[in-house]
């Protein structure tokens, strides 16, 4: 893994330099007000900042390059403490190795040294230890903040990646369900057109036009999660036009759709599939045909859609296929709305009905 030693992220340098500026100003004020040997401490202070920066950047570089974030907490803590002490004393030794020779005469002239209370070696060792521990403390604080920030960033990135994967899976599931649902009406319509070509070519031509419009809507609908109810009703009208050719007077349709609801959003092809199920598994099995009813209404903040048909005696196979279609629609609703959508079916000796409640969303 290629990692730049010097970060290119401007935010990193903004925070790093901002904190060091605050620390530096505090130290300069303390040096000027309370510490002797002003020049010695000021030069040491200015040398300390770049050395400290190199030390923490080296840790960051190894942390990212060696994937240390995968280590256990105990390993990270133990190695972090070791690195803080080692790098802290390394910074102290390098810094003092530069400035002590420059101020050697001042160190030798210190009163405790001249009086024999302490040796120059002891003075240097004390400087190395005190500055090393102080530097190690700063490096520990920097590493703690850095690991905390990068860990939170990785968690956010993981959450975003997980959301993207969930959305991709959701889109794949919706596409799969659409692929299962949409061919139903296509095969039925093609069979009807095949029988109609010889009996009534003009009707067959009209059926081809209606089918073409439906296919166009189906392909466009697969690219969208939701469409206007008015668009869905248009394709239902085309579907019913195809079915009237086949069923003739056996199909009687009643619609109760207020005009102000046609801008509300619904999943594409959902209502059309419910209408198709009502005809295919209900009215088409009745010798005398029957009545298909389609209604829409607002129920509080929910849009309620109901498709009902005169019931027919159905076989187990028909019940099974009907259940598969409704199950697919229910899965689509769950993927789009979660628990906010509801699909219910009800049947008795005279009527079979399916009602769908969706969140009332209007097209902007």
What are the C-alpha distances in Å from 21 to residues 58, 170, 364? 20, 49, 51
Q: Which regions in the chain score pLDDT beneath 50?
A: 180-181, 315-318
Looking at the whole model, is its pTM more than 0.75? no
pLDDT at 280: 80
Question: pLDDT tens digit string along 179-215?
Answer: 544 565 677 677 778 877 877 788 788 788 877 877 7
pLDDT at 316: 47
pLDDT at 160: 78
Question: pLDDT tens digit string along 127-170?
Answer: 999 999 999 999 999 999 999 988 888 888 888 777 776 665 56
How many Å apart are CA 45 and CA 31, to the nearest integer? 9
Short-list 273, 243, 265, CA closest to 177:
273
Please answer whether residues 358 and 333 qualify as being in contact, where contact means their C-beta atoms are separated by less than 8 angstroms: yes
Length of the chain: 364
């Amino acid at each position: 893994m290629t990692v730049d030693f010097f970060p290119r992220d401007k935010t990193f340098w903004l925070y790093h330099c901002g904190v060091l500026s605050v620390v530096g100003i505090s130290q300069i004020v303390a040096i000027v007000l309370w510490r002797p040997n002003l020049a010695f401490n000021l030069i040491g202070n200015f040398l300390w900042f770049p050395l400290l920066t190199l030390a923490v950047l080296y840790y960051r570089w190894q942390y990212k390059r060696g994937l240390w974030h995968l280590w256990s907490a105990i390993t990270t803590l133990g190695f972090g403490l070791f690195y803080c002490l080692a790098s802290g004393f390394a910074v102290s030794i390098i810094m003092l190795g530069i400035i002590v020779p420059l101020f050697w005469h001042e160190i030798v002239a210190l009163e405790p040294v001249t009086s024999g209370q302490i040796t120059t070696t002891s003075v240097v060792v004390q400087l190395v230890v005190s500055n090393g521990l102080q530097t190690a403390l700063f490096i520990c604080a920097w590493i703690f903040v850095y690991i905390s920030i990068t860990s939170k960033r990785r968690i956010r990135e993981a959450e975003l990646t997980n959301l993207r994967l969930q959305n991709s899976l959701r889109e794949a599931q919706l596409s799969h369900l659409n692929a299962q649902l949409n061919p139903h009406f296509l095969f039925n319509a093609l069979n009807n057109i095949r029988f109609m070509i010889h009996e009534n070519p003009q009707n067959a031509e009209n059926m081809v036009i209606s089918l073409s419009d439906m296919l166009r809507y189906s392909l466009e609908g697969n690219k969208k999660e939701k469409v206007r109810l008015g668009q869905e009703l248009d394709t239902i009208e085309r579907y019913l036009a195809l079915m009237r050719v086949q069923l003739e007077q056996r199909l009687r349709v009643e619609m109760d759709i207020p005009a102000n609801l046609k801008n509300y959003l619904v999943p594409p092809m959902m209502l059309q599939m419910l209408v198709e199920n009502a005809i295919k598994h209900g009215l088409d099995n009745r010798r005398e045909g029957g009545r298909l009813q389609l209604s829409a209404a607002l129920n509080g903040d929910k849009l309620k859609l109901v498709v009902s048909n005169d019931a027919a005696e159905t076989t187990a196979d028909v019940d099974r296929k009907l259940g598969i279609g409704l199950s697919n629609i229910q899965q689509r609703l769950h993927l789009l709305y979660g628990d906010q959508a509801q699909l219910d079916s009800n049947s008795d000796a005279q009527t079979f009905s399916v009602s769908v409640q969706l969140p009332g969303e209007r097209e902007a």
